Amino acid sequence: MDKKELWKKCAAFHGHECGGLTIGYKASLYAAELLDLTFSKDEEVVCISENDACGVDAIQVILGCSVGKGNLLFHMTGKQAFSFYNRKTGKSVRLVNKDRPAGMSKEESFRYLQSREPEELFDVKETEIPLPEKAGVFDSYICDCCHERTGAKWIRLAGEKRYCIDCYREYDRFHV
């Protein structure tokens, strides 16, 4: 698929064209080039995004990273930064969006981002977070309070009772 068609596909998924989507679009293309990545059918490609902004939608479309597959994770720092990993080769890269010229309107910023090559938009750094293990499958239990099924990692025990995180109340003698 050519870049114009790929952009259209990203914009259709996201719902509109914007600067944030462009950042994720350019980051995905750059990561694919640097790490020899293609669309991930399972967990061959992993992305750790440091934000939950528009660009993440382009990463899903282009590289096939998704929360449901377990190969899109969030390390919320509020930065326009993305770590990409190629499980097949073991290579990884962290792309950090460079500052844009100050004083641009939203429209000017969009045009600026669209007109630049990825290497003009990102600092290429080593990843700081090791490649996460593949997504796990967990047992689940019924919460004794709300009776909703909850993954074992999120169950809390109080005596003989099992509680989900929402229903569990920490023991505290000072705040009843």
pLDDT in tens, 45-97: 999 999 999 999 999 999 999 999 999 999 999 999 999 999 999 999 999 99
Instruction: Kindly report the pTM of this predicted structure.
Output: 0.87
Half-sphere exposure of 62 (CA within 13 A, CB side): 31
Instruction: Examine the domain organization and report whether 20 and 90 are in the same domain.
Output: yes
Instruction: Examine the domain organization and report whether 57 and 105 are in the same domain.
Output: yes
Instruction: Examine the domain organization and report whether 16 and 98 are in the same domain.
Output: yes
In a domain, residue 151? The reply is yes
Q: What CATH number does residue 93 fall under? A: 3.30.1330.130
Q: What is the mean pLDDT of residues 110-135?
A: 96
In a domain, residue 110? The reply is yes
Instruction: Examine the domain organization and report whether 41 and 67 are in the same domain.
Output: yes
Task: List pLDDT tens digits, range 14-43.
Answer: 999 999 999 999 999 999 999 999 999 999
